[in-house]
Chains A and B, each alone.
Chain A
Amino acid sequence: MRRFAIALAAAGVISVAGAGVAFTETMDWGKYQAGDKRSGYTYAQPETRAMQDDEFENPGFLLMESATAMWSKPEGAAGKSCADCHGDVSSMKGVATRYPVFFKPSGKMMNIEQRINQCRTEQMKAEPWKWESDQLLGMTVLVKYQSEGLPMNVAIDGPAAPFYEKGKAFYYERRGQLDLACSNCHEDHSGQNLRANILSQGMPNGFPTYRLKWQKVGSLHRRFKGCNDQVRAEPYKPGSDEYVDLELFVSHRANGLPVETPSVRN
């Protein structure tokens, strides 16, 4: 029922896309825009934006509720909860603006999902959560939500520099049978229609996101895999070094845009 309504509404919007796109290009998107950088929010259908803005409609908030309970629940052999080390979850304010960060013990970059699992295995002596599990997605949403509205501010100097270069190379390298780079779609053609999808700038600031197409909340790395699959390229594993370095590149690319987790996208 509801999906049908959305489909109809989308059809209405697209039939006037000629005028609509020109209009959105010149529109003032307020906090969803920083200079030329625009959040995926500004390319989403009005119904999708309304769903993101409504805490009762946005499924990301539901996932966050169970994560909030997990925050203070002791787990693992050490008998500790997140709250035992960090206090109130509001102490996570600002964290999402800085990640991925260089992690000395591993000598690599680490994103928030990996930080959460690092705390679980090392501090709590608990099992790490699986990628795309509701637990890991929910906790990632909860941590990132503490920075909601704060501008992304990812550093790429010092030890992060070589990883940034790798992520950048990934972004501009054509791949797959269709031989397209991320930049072909998200830099060269943003604002244009790939069939019925309006290409955004591919910004990561709203992840994990609830995608109507997935009918589920999903991670940024799931999105990377989806974009790789679309061009018939062999994807990498979520949490792989390649995707974490790519995350570093796209997160720095989003510097200045506010953290928008949990977002809703088409």
Chain B
Amino acid sequence: MKRSQLAAAVAVPLVMALAAGIGGGSRAQAEDLVAYQIVDGAIPKSLTGKPGDPAAGEATAVNRKLGNCLACHSLPIKNQPFPGDLGPDLASVGSSLSEGQLRLRLVDSKKINPDTAMPSFYKVEGLHRVAKAFEGKPILTAQQVEDVVAYLMTLKGN
């Protein structure tokens, strides 16, 4: 039931008419957000039109200023002690979820679970009191999202 509702909810193009005057640089960023479509709980199409780079994706996932995924998840990476456990272990997430499903979970997990603690990594709309330095900017760029998706697709468990 919920699934089909999701499918029907086609994401509106995210070209934002951000109120003029909020942080000069941020506006250009917001306008850069790529439009996407949600189909059956997934975003089937790459945001960049190209496959991502898994090695760059791993670096983005680990970087505390970018994905910071280890704050909440375990990833099968050596020398990264003390991962968080707010979210599930991602060691085999590439076999349990499809590429499109992973993409939606990164872009906007709240479309799947409105109560989730998982940040929406590619969203600038509907946020409250974002710190000035981050206003109008998504956490990850479209390219970084694609890279992380490509990396997650390599995680097939042991």
Partners in one complex: yes
Contact status B117-A193, CB under 8 Å: no
Contact status B120-A195, CB under 8 Å: no
Specify the main secondary structure of chain A where it touches its partner: loop
The reply to whether the CB of B150 lies closer than 8 angstroms to some CB of chain A is no
The reply to whether the CB of A57 lies closer than 8 angstroms to some CB of chain B is no
Contact status A195-B70, CB under 8 Å: yes
The reply to whether the CB of A227 lies closer than 8 angstroms to some CB of chain B is no
Contact status B85-A177, CB under 8 Å: no
Q: Interface readout for B114-142 with A: 1 if CB under 8 Å, 0 if not?
A: 01010110010001111111100101000
Max count, chain A CB within 10 A of own CB: residue among B72, B82, B123, B133: B82
The reply to whether the CB of A14 lies closer than 8 angstroms to some CB of chain B is yes
Specify the main secondary structure of chain B where it touches its partner: loop
Contact status B128-A192, CB under 8 Å: no
**Given A177-B134, A180-B119, does the pair A194, B128 have CB atoms closer than 8 Å?**
no
The reply to whether the CB of A178 lies closer than 8 angstroms to some CB of chain B is yes
Residues of A within 8 A of B81 (CB): 11, 14, 196
Residues of A within 8 A of B86 (CB): 189, 192-194, 199
- A contacts with B, residue count (CB < 8 A): 25
Q: Tell me, rounded to whole Å, the shortest Cβ–Cβ distance linking A227 to chain B.
A: 13
The reply to whether the CB of B18 lies closer than 8 angstroms to some CB of chain A is no
Q: Tell me, rounded to whole Å, the shortest Cβ–Cβ distance linking B26 to chain A.
A: 11
Contact status A188-B115, CB under 8 Å: yes
Q: Interface readout for A78-118 with B: 1 if CB under 8 Å, 0 if not?
A: 00000000000000000000000000000000000000000
Contact status A174-B70, CB under 8 Å: no
Residues of B within 8 A of A185 (CB): 117
| Interface hit among A30-38, A228-236, A256-264 | A228-236
Q: Tell me, rounded to whole Å, the shortest Cβ–Cβ distance linking A45 to chain B.
A: 13
* Interface of B toward A, CB cutoff 8 Å: 70-72, 81-86, 110, 115, 117, 119-120, 123, 127-134, 137, 139
With A179-B120, A234-B130 already in contact, 8 other A-B pairs whose C-beta atoms are closer than 8 Å: A175-B128, A175-B129, A176-B131, A176-B134, A179-B123, A195-B84, A234-B129, A234-B132
* Interface of A toward B, CB cutoff 8 Å: 11, 14, 173-180, 184-185, 188-189, 192-196, 199, 229, 232-235
